[in-house]
Structure 1
Amino acid sequence: MTREQAIQKVAELIRGIKFCMLVTQTDEGHLHSRPVTTQDQEFDGDLWFIGGKDSEWVQDISKREQINLAYSQPDGQNYVSITGRASLVEDRTKLEEVWSDFYKAYFPEGIDDPNVQLVRVETHGAELWESSGKLASAFQTAKGLLTGNQADMGTNQSVALE
């Protein structure tokens, strides 16, 4: 699969999933997950987020840039785990592009709040799990139970994004 095909495949699977789990490493070396909001933009190999400069996850990224993002679409039984390098970006034009009034709940001064931090994730690779859907998965599970054969639960593949 080419890089362009991999990007297209990941874009297809994460499209419409508003929240994902972002995993960073803490000062103690522990992995820490928390939900973050993916910006509503076409995936081109980079993902963008807005966080608070004083938030733990932004502080983690300022010290250790390697992250993981986990996307889940249980209704379609599709899952994506993305690895990448996060960076803290000061780019007013990009911030204006991704900003929405949703963030006023977190940043009372709006886009000019001094705590607003734009975060870019340059993706390295992704692990994809795709199912044929809930009904097909239920059928495959029942078939596996009845026949004693392993159920076909869809496809799994790793793709390079850099």
Structure 2
Amino acid sequence: MTAVKYDGDDEGVARLLAGAAALVGSVRNCWLITRPDRTVTARPMGVVALENSDHDWKLVFLTDGRSRKSSEIDRAGNVIVIVQREPGEAYATFSSRAAKITDPAVVASRWKEAYGRYFPNEADRLNAIFIEITIERMELWIRGVTPEPFGFVPTVVERVGGVWRLDSPAH
């Protein structure tokens, strides 16, 4: 496991990342937003996993490779994921590039029996792909984690060159 690299306030950044991980781990669904062809489209998604074993912050989703969402990711590349938990007043946006995992061997190695309800037959399963989003920027509003006054300005954490750092948002 690699160590997390921070710039500046290590303890503060670690606390923010832990709060964001707890938020993602506490929800089943989120919004995935793409902007292909200068239009904005959003769809609800079930979070398959937060792969954070090496603090690499990868969100993973399962989808149909024939879907509009899949083609939008090809065209747009960049995505935003919105997560919220009520009660608890915890909200976050995560931005990054999305990568599609289409290799049948990799898809099969990650496959869980529960996914069969979304891909009920062999033809559908052959088109199942994973979308992997390696988070590079977070905007956080998490009561008890982000600074007060709560809700007026996001706390922004960015990864630049593999180093997580606090960023001062514009007011």
Give me the TM-score of the superposition, normalised by structure 2.
0.71
1:7-156 equivalences under 5 Å are: 7-27=17-37, 29-43=38-52, 44-92=56-104, 94-96=106-108, 98-109=110-121, 113-132=125-144, 152-153=149-150, 156=154
Higher normalized helix content (fraction of residues): 1
Segments of 5+ residues of structure 2 without an aligned counterpart are 8-12, 161-171
Asked if 2 retains the 8 angstrom alpha-carbon contact of 1:20 and 1:70, the reply is yes
Q: Which runs of 5+ in 1 are unaligned?
A: 133-150
Displacement of 1:95 after TM fit? 3.1
Please tell me the residue identity of whatever aligns with 1:86.
A
Give the aligned residue type for 1:90: T
Alpha-carbon distance in structure 2 between the residues aligned to 1:79 and 1:24: 19
- Partner amino acid for 1:73? R
* Aligned alpha-carbon RMSD (Å): 2.9
Please tell me whether Structure 1 or Structure 2 has the larger radius of gyration of its CA atoms. Answer: 1
Q: Which of structure 1's runs of 4+ aligned residues deviate more than 4 A?
A: 91-94
8 Å CA contact 2:32, 2:43 repeated in 1: yes
Note closer, same or farther for the CA distance 1:109–1:120 as it changes in structure 2 (3 Å cut).
same
In the TM superposition, residue 67 of structure 1 has moved relative to its aligned partner by: 0.3
Number of residue pairs matched?
144
Cα separation, 2, equivalents of 1:8 and 1:152: 20
Residue pair 2:50, 2:57 contacting (<8 A) in 1 also: no
Question: Does the residue aligned with 1:161 lie in a helix, a strand or coil?
Answer: strand
Paired AA for residue 95 in structure 1: V
Calculate the TM-score normalised by the size of structure 1: 0.74
